[in-house]
Amino acid sequence: MLPAMTLASDTSEEIARAVPLPRAKPAAEAAPPALPVTPQPRQKPATVPTPVPRPVAMAVPAPAPEPIPLPTETEIKAGMLPCGEACGDILFKAVDECLWVQNQNPKPITFQARVDGRLIELKLEGASYEKSASAPAKPAAGINTYHTRQKDPFQSSSAGIPVYRARLADKAGCATARGQITQFVAVFTQ
């Protein structure tokens, strides 16, 4: 059987109650009312102190390096030349027709040499693994010192041994062969 039909006038109230109305969107919050702007008095800029010129320091000439001590007669007869505590860490390498002094110790070294009668002094930095990581194998033109790595003969897969190199040169030019060095001293710098 079919349900009984009702009149439209009877059901309008029931339908209105049964069907939910869609929700209204919340109204946007109104901005707070703008406050009246009152002009502020203009402030004076802070005074800038006038710079005081620094005193110009006179260039002090670097003291001449002290000469290497001459060996005594007994040292000459024994075939020993005094070198210093850091001589074991000094190596010589010929690069681009110049002789380079090479420090493989992480401690800095002061190096003095007599090259063809001239006294040359070099301050060698300590060998640094970090500084030599991106260093070139050979120096660029005009470079007198640089960090680099040399091949390790005992470990072929290693990145190499870090070293610091300095060109053995002065104003007169660079040494080209180990035979030009008559005497040298190497001591650790503090």
Encode pLDDT of 136-145 as tens digits. Answer: 666 767 778 8
For the segment 21-35, the average pLDDT, to the nearest whole number, is 64
For the segment 101-125, the average pLDDT, to the nearest whole number, is 89
d(CA 132, CA 148): 5
What's the distance, Cα to Cα, between the start and end of the chain in Å?
113
pLDDT digits (tens, 9 = 90+) for 128-174: 888 877 766 667 677 788 888 887 777 777 778 888 989 998 888 88
Looking at the domain assignment, is residue 169 inside a domain?
Answer: yes
pLDDT digits (tens, 9 = 90+) for 40-72: 777 777 777 777 777 766 666 666 666 656 555
Contact 180, 117 (CB under 8 A): no
Closest CA to 104 of 132, 84, 136: 132
Looking at the domain assignment, is residue 65 inside a domain?
Answer: no
Q: Which residue has the tokens 């919340």?
A: 26
Contact 190, 114 (CB under 8 A): no
For the segment 177-185, the average pLDDT, to the nearest whole number, is 86
Share of the chain above pLDDT 70, in %: 64
**Structural domain span for residue 159:** 92-188
SS3 assignment, position 17: helix
Looking at the domain assignment, is residue 25 inside a domain?
Answer: no
φ and ψ at 105, to 5 degrees? Answer: -95, 145
Looking at the domain assignment, is residue 115 inside a domain?
Answer: yes
Looking at the domain assignment, is residue 158 inside a domain?
Answer: yes
Looking at the domain assignment, is residue 64 inside a domain?
Answer: no
Burial classification of residue 162, based on how many CB atoms lie within 10 Å of its CB (0-12 exposed, 13-18 middle, 19 or more buried): buried
